[in-house]
Amino acid sequence: MNDEMHTDPIAETETNKIHVPVMLERSIELLAPALSQPGAILVDATLGLGGHAENFLSRFPGLTLVGLDRDPEALKLAGARLAPFGERAQLVHCVYDEIQDALRSLGHAEAHGILFDLGVSSMQLDRAERGFAYSKDAPLDMRMDGTADVTAEQILADYSEGELRRIFWEYGEERLASRYAKRIVERRADTRLVRSAQLVDLIQRATPAALARQGHPAKRVFQALRIEVNQELVALENAIPRAIESLALHGRMVVLSYQSLEDRIVKRAFAAASTSSTPQGLPVELPEHQPQLKLLVRGAELATDDEKAANPRSTPVRLRAAERVRVAS
């Protein structure tokens, strides 16, 4: 149907109601000192539906926002939402580990603030046809970028039992990784797994009753498949150091993680950049060995009880934040 004749009610709902930005006020509080100057650049490395971006652009009139997302559908919806801000909202279709190239392509040498809101977006979870949610029957897709090649269905059909076991264990921290991998290989010998309901049924049948009562047994397998399809952890491991390098002096970065694997990567990168690299035995610390970052919060900060009640998707979030205090010469 011609777009001019059809208004998508789902799109309207998504941009206005579904996406409630997680830890918005805390993120603004932490980034504000770096964004209050005229001409400040904020990179929203995980633009999604633009909830965080809209609020930052509204609160900081002199701010230019660079929004990155690998999902063309999210960019389209966010672009419509941010259209009132005109050229102050600059959107780029890319994965967040391409942050430096994205900034350069727009003529920006550095960023004064960077925000990562990791994991799967509200829109991707809520649209059943994307295949991210184990609670909704859909094709086994799970691509954040629908133009990418690899789907969850292909992984389940082509990976060896050992490879499936590895991703379920490493990316899902799934104790029954071996059992699930074995059952998948057995099933696909007769029937290709093409829909999420098939995979959920297989996992439920393979899960001992005692463990099934500890939470939905498909949750960790679906997480592992999503991470593998989108190479999320590989991208994140590359993205955080590149984001640090992109920060201006006294620029600030906030990262919101939703599971331990993401948070561990962020924690390690922040720890390395906020620690002196002075060799043991050197009597003085030379400038080139001084830390690049100063941590702004102790450990990982959690959402408040009030926010968790108002926005259940904030329940697992872990916030880390840092300021760049040295730029390598």
Q: What is the tens place of the pLDDT at every residue in 138-169?
A: 999 999 998 889 999 999 999 999 999 999 99
What residue spans define the domains of the chain?
3-117+232-324, 128-230
pLDDT above 90 for 76:
yes
Query: Residue 110 contacts by C-beta under 8 Å, 6 or more apart in sequence?
Result: 41, 103, 246, 247, 248, 251
User: Is 289 assigned a ligand-binding role in the annotation?
Assistant: no
Q: What single-letter amino acid sits at 319? A: L
The CA distances from residue 87 to 44, 64, 84, 264, in Å, are 15, 8, 9, 36
Residue 242 burial by CB count (10 A; 0-12/13-18/19+): exposed, middle or buried?
Answer: middle
Is 299 known to sit in a ligand binding site? Answer: no
Higher pLDDT, 128 or 182: 182
* Greater model confidence, 236 or 213: 236
- Does position 191 have pLDDT exceeding 60, yes or no? yes
Q: Say if residue 14's pLDDT is above 60.
A: no
Q: Indicate the burial class of 93 (C-beta count within 10 angstroms; 0-12, 13-18, 19 or more).
A: middle
pLDDT of residue 5: 31
Above 70 in pLDDT, residue 71? yes
Instruction: Please tell me whether 280 is known to bind a ligand.
Output: no
Report, at the CATH architecture level, how domain 3-117+232-324 is classified: 3-Layer(aba) Sandwich (3.40)
- Model confidence pLDDT, tens digit, residues 253-288: 999 999 999 999 999 999 999 997 666 666 666 666
pTM: 0.87
- Residue 17: per-residue pLDDT: 47
Nearest to 54 by CA among 21, 87, 32: 21
79 is in an annotated binding site: no
Residue 62, annotated as binding a ligand: no
Tens-place pLDDT, residues 107-135: 999 999 999 999 876 665 656 567 778 88
Mean pLDDT of the chain: 89
Q: Is 51 annotated as a binding residue?
A: yes
* The pLDDT of residue 6: 33
Return the SS3 of 112.
strand
Query: In the prediction, which pLDDT does 283 show?
Result: 66
Q: What is the predicted pLDDT for the residue at 184?
A: 98
CATH architecture observed for domain 128-230: Orthogonal Bundle (1.10)
* pLDDT at residue 2 is higher than 50: no
pLDDT band at residue 328 using 50, 70 and 90 as cut-offs: confident
The reply to whether 231 sits in an annotated binding site is no
